[in-house]
Amino acid sequence: MPVVEVSGVSHTFGEASARRTVLQDVDVRFDEQRVGIIGANGSGKSTFARLLNGLIVPTEGSVTVDGLTTARHGREIRRRVGFCFTDPDAQIVMPTVGEDVSFSLRSTDLTKEQIRIRVDDILGRFGLEGLVDHPSHLLSGGQKQLLALAAVLVTEPALVIMDEPTTLLDLRNAQMIGDVVAGLDTQVVLVTHHLDLLDRFDRVLVFDEARLVCDAPPGQAIDFYRRLMS
Ligand SMILES: Nc1ncnc2c1ncn2[C@@H]1O[C@H](COP(=O)(O)OP(=O)(O)O)[C@@H](O)[C@H]1O
Ligand SMILES: [Mg+2]
């Protein structure tokens, strides 16, 4: 699994007059397959998640994935690290399911036929086979989230970051996405408020007020978080 190293990271948004520290002195290294991230709204979870693929470069400290620094190797990092947003509509760009997944492979040197095989394969894995020519915007919420995830995974990232992928879904679809995540063989970092999805995770990080306040196995980290919130 890729090795992610976050060293001496602090991050502030805004100009001097209205500076806001959203991450403070975060140091963590992980190479486990499944890492969960929990914490209150505004605690810095999304900022942390976005640091991991260089969507955000920290104002202090460094983030590396397999030794590549996000500040300097953004493009290579994003080839290895996929990112899935909460709202699939923000990520789905093409009119049909098949076109949307193919679009992720547009700048590879795969042939049309190779792309078709990759697309069919990933849609099959996610139960979306039959929907290749279906209009993307007519999918259900759960199917849209599956499509967004498929469009990330078709590029075969070594690590996939998911920022609250089940927050907009009903319980059944959340469970379904949870099962898909559990079955992935890539490394996963999952930010979530659905704590039961973290049951079999290797490690869970708890953020509170810009700080990493707990780093433990799921049971222990979730207990810590519940106490923090009560
Ligand atoms: N682009 C931005 N500019 C200014 N402030 C931001 C920006 N993004 C997030 N913030 C602020 O940083 C804090 C942490 O945000 P975020 O990392 O999204 O937290 P979480 O995902 O845990 O809810 C919040 O107070 C948020 O308002
Ligand atoms: Mg967030």
CATH number at residue 154: 3.40.50.300
Determine whether 109 is exposed, middle or buried from the number of CB atoms within 10 Å of its CB (0-12, 13-18, 19+): exposed
CA atoms within 13 A on the CB side of 5: 9
How much is the pLDDT for 204? 98
**Predicted confidence band of residue 15 (pLDDT cuts 50, 70, 90):** confident
16 pLDDT band (50/70/90 cuts)? confident
- What band does 126 get if pLDDT is binned at 50, 70 and 90? confident
Percent of the residues in the chain that have a pLDDT greater than 90, as a whole number: 85
User: Does any domain span residue 48?
Assistant: yes
Say if residue 195's pLDDT is above 90: yes
User: Is residue 173 a part of any domain in this protein?
Assistant: yes
Mean pLDDT within 123-132: 90
Query: Which of 90-94, 163-167, 215-219 tops mean pLDDT?
Result: 215-219
Pocket perturbation via mutation, ligand 1, pick of 22, 37, 51, 167 by most ligand atoms within 8 A of CB: 22
d(CA 178, CA 207): 21
pTM, whole model, 2 decimals? 0.94
Cβ of 18 less than 6 Å from ligand 1: no
Cα separation, 83 vs 178, whole angstroms: 16
* In a domain? residue 27: yes
Residue type, 154: V
pLDDT of residue 217: 98
Residue 102 in any domain: the answer is no
Mean pLDDT on 177-193: 93
Ligand 1 center from residue 101 Cα (angstroms):
29
User: 7, 27 in Cβ contact below 8 A?
Assistant: yes
Q: Is residue 61 part of a domain?
A: yes
52 closest CA partner among 22, 32, 19, 74 = 74
- Is the pLDDT at 125 greater than 90? The verdict is no
Domain of residue 77, residue span: 4-94+138-229
**Count of domains forming the chain:** 1
